[in-house]
A and B are shown apart, each in its own frame.
Chain A
């Protein structure tokens, strides 16, 4: 559980900068379809609160990075909305499962839409850009949160995901669902 170190941070920061380049775009329809299928499965598992299966889509060494700044900087020097390694993601799931996480009692009902999937090659890995629309109903109210996401894939697993919420540097009401 101690895979996050200075080298790991540096690698993640580098992986999520300068990757949306036309010359790296993957045009193979089969690859793009596999990536899209993985993203679609991911949001379905989240919508169905199958969090343990959802985490199973992630590599053993993984991170979910939700920046709080308009332009994601270096999470070693600034806070994010969250920057969760596997242990923290397990904590997050554990907390929701206690039944005493009042921000999720009653739990949100969600429908997540994934679209605009583009795939880029980054060395021996793939970087997938997608748009996310998270529709949420909780405690009598509905809302939508939009984000663009970047998934770093290796061997069919998600190694890292960055979720850039539209309102990432603005105040968010009850951001307690898993992104």
Chain B
């Protein structure tokens, strides 16, 4: 790929329309807006958005931009409100986006029931099993078709949790001075792990008599490990590390590094649940998958990670932690104990791993300032016979250390950048 796709502000600006305006983008998780009138503020590309469950229980993505003069009508990160009043001149909107009223309307000759005065909103907002997406593109496929083969690993990721549900809690929020695609290119990259995360691998195994903790399955010859990367189409991909680990209850728990409180809660869980304890403990351990939904979502471990572009050379990488919700009491009151461990296990990678990736992303952005040295390479595995298999469902499968997934999402990126999306705002 040419360096300019990471460095050129004009390309970034086009992406905000062609990519972040053209495809389904992840907006929020339903557990963040559980009841009527709950809202949070986020962005769709650079567009300020209020994700709200309106008073009629409909999920909406309102443009957080007063129709009058353009100020953001809502300045809070989250809350509960039936109306939003712009603090500048007091124009007020229902949480459906409809204009409720303006101060002293007799000073206007216009008809405020004309829909053009309502807040603009994302015309298509849909949820897939709790994950809320939106697109501005009237010609985009259905969300279900867009997710396609990626739905299966998402289903599996959910179904390991009681009731196939998770609850989003707080987040580890990081930011780096680099292009958003550097994070997405990294999302299924099994080649960088033993180098970029060397300090994490050494730390995880510093006490282990048998050094098999955490991601140590990358050590040795990761090309030959049973883990694989799969390309699903539409820019989505999947790094499945589960085949490296025995398929039995307790196998994930065994490789989890030592976290605060782990031993004490483990004891309580084992005493209470007996034979079922291993399943509960696995829920506190990191699920070894990376499910990447183009362009801004990665479901990995127990995290819901969101990539938020801020500028051509600045990106937020937000690691929302998830808790389990055990409504049917499958874990006999031990869900809180599982969550107490699960919160600590989720702090591990952002602190001990992601910061080092982010440092490397920043160094790429600096290196790419060398404008005559124009190309970066993504050809690992390319041209080696038998390396990339096309499966009967049309998806591609390769060793987890191959860059095939980058080449494929870049092809999709190129296709989208050459196609003007049919953007239609609703009001």
CB-nearest residue of chain B to A70: B77
**Interface size (B, Cβ < 8 Å)?**
47
Residues of chain A from 71 to 104 with CB closer than 8 A to chain B in the complex: 73, 75-85, 87-88, 91-92, 94-96, 98, 100-103
Q: Is A126 an interface residue (CB 8 A)?
A: no
Known: A68-B170, A98-B203, A176-B355. A2 touches B318 (CB 8 A): no
CB atoms of B200 and A169 under 8 A apart: no
CB atoms of B169 and A6 under 8 A apart: no
Known: A103-B356, A172-B175. A98 touches B198 (CB 8 A): yes
CB atoms of A75 and B343 under 8 A apart: yes
With beta carbons under 8 angstroms apart, the residue of A6, A63, A92, A176 that contacts B264 is A6
**Interface size (A, Cβ < 8 Å)?**
44
Complexed CA–CA distance, A76 and B200 (Å): 24
Q: What's the nearest-Cβ distance from chain B to residue A134, in Å?
A: 16
CB atoms of A174 and B355 under 8 A apart: yes
CB atoms of B199 and A101 under 8 A apart: yes
Known: A94-B206, A95-B199, A169-B77. A68 touches B171 (CB 8 A): yes
Complexed CA–CA distance, A111 and B343 (Å): 31
Q: What's the nearest-Cβ distance from chain B to residue A113, in Å?
A: 24
Q: Is B260 an interface residue (CB 8 A)?
A: yes
Q: Is A175 an interface residue (CB 8 A)?
A: yes
CB atoms of A6 and B265 under 8 A apart: yes
With beta carbons under 8 angstroms apart, the residue of A76, A94, A95, A175 that contacts B339 is A76
Q: What's the nearest-Cβ distance from chain A to residue B51, in Å?
A: 17
Complexed CA–CA distance, A176 and B202 (Å): 17
CB-nearest residue of chain A to B342: A79
Q: What's the nearest-Cβ distance from chain B to residue A138, in Å?
A: 10
Selected interface stretch from B21-29, B226-234, B344-352: B344-352
CB atoms of B265 and A91 under 8 A apart: no
CB atoms of A171 and B202 under 8 A apart: no
CB atoms of B196 and A102 under 8 A apart: yes
Q: CB-CB contacts of B172-207 with A at 8 A, as 1s and 0s?
A: 111111000000000000000000101110110010
Known: A4-B260, A87-B258. A78 touches B169 (CB 8 A): yes
CB atoms of A103 and B358 under 8 A apart: yes
Chain A residues whose CB sits within 8 angstroms of the CB of B339 once the complex forms: 76-77
CB atoms of B206 and A76 under 8 A apart: no
Complexed CA–CA distance, A93 and B318 (Å): 25
CB atoms of B175 and A171 under 8 A apart: yes
Q: Is B87 an interface residue (CB 8 A)?
A: no
With beta carbons under 8 angstroms apart, the residue of B172, B259, B264, B323 that contacts A5 is B264
Q: Is B340 an interface residue (CB 8 A)?
A: yes
CB-nearest residue of chain B to A138: B359
Q: What's the nearest-Cβ distance from chain B to residue A145, in Å?
A: 13
Complexed CA–CA distance, A6 and B351 (Å): 23
Complexed CA–CA distance, A106 and B238 (Å): 33
CB atoms of B260 and A63 under 8 A apart: yes
Chain B residues whose CB sits within 8 angstroms of the CB of A81 once the complex forms: 172, 347, 351
Known: A76-B336, A76-B339, A102-B360. A94 touches B203 (CB 8 A): yes
CB-nearest residue of chain A to B356: A102
With beta carbons under 8 angstroms apart, the residue of B206, B261, B323 that contacts A77 is B323
Q: Is B240 an interface residue (CB 8 A)?
A: no
CB atoms of B347 and A78 under 8 A apart: no
CB atoms of B173 and A170 under 8 A apart: yes
Complexed CA–CA distance, A116 and B321 (Å): 34
Tell me the B residues contacting A by CB distance below 8 Å: 77, 169-177, 196, 198-200, 202-203, 206, 257-261, 263-265, 268, 316-318, 321, 323, 336-337, 339-340, 343-344, 346-347, 351-352, 355-356, 358-360, 362
In the A-B complex, list the 6 residue pairs whose CB atoms are closest, starting with the nearest: A5-B264, A171-B175, A79-B321, A103-B355, A101-B199, A76-B340
